[in-house]
A = this chain, B = another copy of it.
Amino acid sequence: MHRIHGSAIWVIWGLTTALAAQAQDTPPISGDSETCVACHELVNPGIVADWRHSRHSRRSVAQALAEPELARRVSAEKVPDELANVVVACLECHGQNPEAHADTFEHFGYEIHTIVTPQDCATCHPKEESQYGQSKKAAARANLLENPVYRGLVDATTRLQTFADGTLTPGESTDSAKAETCLACHGTKVEVSGSRTVETELGEIELPTFSGWPNQGVGRENPDGSLGSCSPCHTRHSFDIAVARSPETCSECHLEPDVPAWEVYRESKHGNLFMAHRDKQTMDTVPWRPGADFTAPTCATCHNSLLVNSEGTVLAERSHDFGARLWVRIFGLPYSHPQPATGLTTGLRNKAGLPLPVDLDGTPAATGLITAEEQTARQAAMGKVCSSCHTGSWVAGHFANLDKTVGNADAMVKAATGLMQHGWETGQANPADMFDEPLEQLWVDSWLFQATSLRYSAAMCGPDYGAFKQGWWKLQTNLAKMKEMVGK
Q: Write the nearest CB–CB distance from A11 to chain B, whole angstroms.
A: 8
Contact B389 A422 (CB under 8 A): no
Contact B248 A276 (CB under 8 A): yes
Q: Which of A79-87, A127-135, A393-401 contacts B (4 or more CB under 8 A)?
A: A393-401
- List, in ascending order, chain B residues with CB within 8 A of A157's CB: 467-468, 472-473, 476
A253 interface residue per 8 A CB criterion: yes
Which residues of A (235-287) have their CB < 8 Å from a CB of B?
Answer: 235, 238, 240, 242-243, 246, 248-249, 251-253, 255-258, 262, 266-269, 271-273, 275-277, 279-285
Cα of A210 to Cα of B209 in the assembled complex, Å: 60
Cα of A309 to Cα of B164 in the assembled complex, Å: 52
Contact A404 B248 (CB under 8 A): no
Contact A243 B272 (CB under 8 A): yes
- List, in ascending order, chain B residues with CB within 8 A of A480's CB: 436-438, 441
- List, in ascending order, chain B residues with CB within 8 A of A48's CB: 291
Q: Write the nearest CB–CB distance from A285 to chain B, whole angstroms.
A: 6
A176 interface residue per 8 A CB criterion: yes
Contact of A256 among B20, B161, B411, B469 (CB under 8 A): B469
Q: Which of A38-46, A319-327, A338-346, A350-358 contacts B (4 or more CB under 8 A)?
A: A38-46
Q: Write the nearest CB–CB distance from A113 to chain B, whole angstroms.
A: 12
Q: Write the nearest CB–CB distance from A211 to chain B, whole angstroms.
A: 9
- List, in ascending order, chain B residues with CB within 8 A of A282's CB: 3, 6-7, 10
A376 interface residue per 8 A CB criterion: no
Cα of A90 to Cα of B23 in the assembled complex, Å: 40
A156 interface residue per 8 A CB criterion: yes
Cα of A41 to Cα of B313 in the assembled complex, Å: 12
Contact of A285 among B5, B293, B393 (CB under 8 A): B5
- List, in ascending order, chain B residues with CB within 8 A of A269's CB: 216, 232, 235, 252
Contact A484 B248 (CB under 8 A): no
A53 interface residue per 8 A CB criterion: yes
Contact A267 B252 (CB under 8 A): yes
A479 interface residue per 8 A CB criterion: yes
Contact of A394 among B214, B283, B313 (CB under 8 A): B214
A371 interface residue per 8 A CB criterion: no
A138 interface residue per 8 A CB criterion: no
A114 interface residue per 8 A CB criterion: yes
Query: Can you spell out 30 A-B residue pairs with CB atoms less than 8 angstroms apart?
Result: A4-B20, A5-B16, A6-B285, A6-B293, A9-B9, A11-B16, A12-B12, A44-B389, A45-B309, A50-B291, A53-B280, A157-B468, A158-B472, A161-B415, A162-B415, A163-B418, A167-B488, A168-B479, A174-B404, A174-B408, A181-B466, A207-B392, A207-B393, A209-B396, A216-B269, A240-B276, A246-B276, A251-B272, A441-B477, A448-B468
Q: Which of A28-36, A118-126, A219-227, A456-464 contacts B (4 or more CB under 8 A)?
A: A456-464
Q: Write the nearest CB–CB distance from A364 to chain B, whole angstroms.
A: 20
A contact residues, total (Cβ < 8 Å)? 153
Contact B289 A45 (CB under 8 A): yes
Cα of A455 to Cα of B434 in the assembled complex, Å: 27
- Other than the given A49-B291, A242-B277, 20 more pairs (CB < 8 A) read A4-B16, A8-B16, A10-B280, A42-B309, A46-B290, A46-B295, A160-B411, A160-B415, A162-B414, A166-B422, A176-B401, A176-B405, A181-B472, A209-B396, A243-B277, A251-B267, A252-B267, A255-B267, A258-B468, A436-B480
A182 interface residue per 8 A CB criterion: yes
Q: Write the nearest CB–CB distance from A293 to chain B, whole angstroms.
A: 7
A184 interface residue per 8 A CB criterion: yes
Contact B484 A438 (CB under 8 A): yes
Q: Write the nearest CB–CB distance from A57 to chain B, whole angstroms.
A: 13
Contact B180 A252 (CB under 8 A): no
CB contact under 8 A between A285 and B3, given known A49-B295, A181-B467, A408-B177: yes
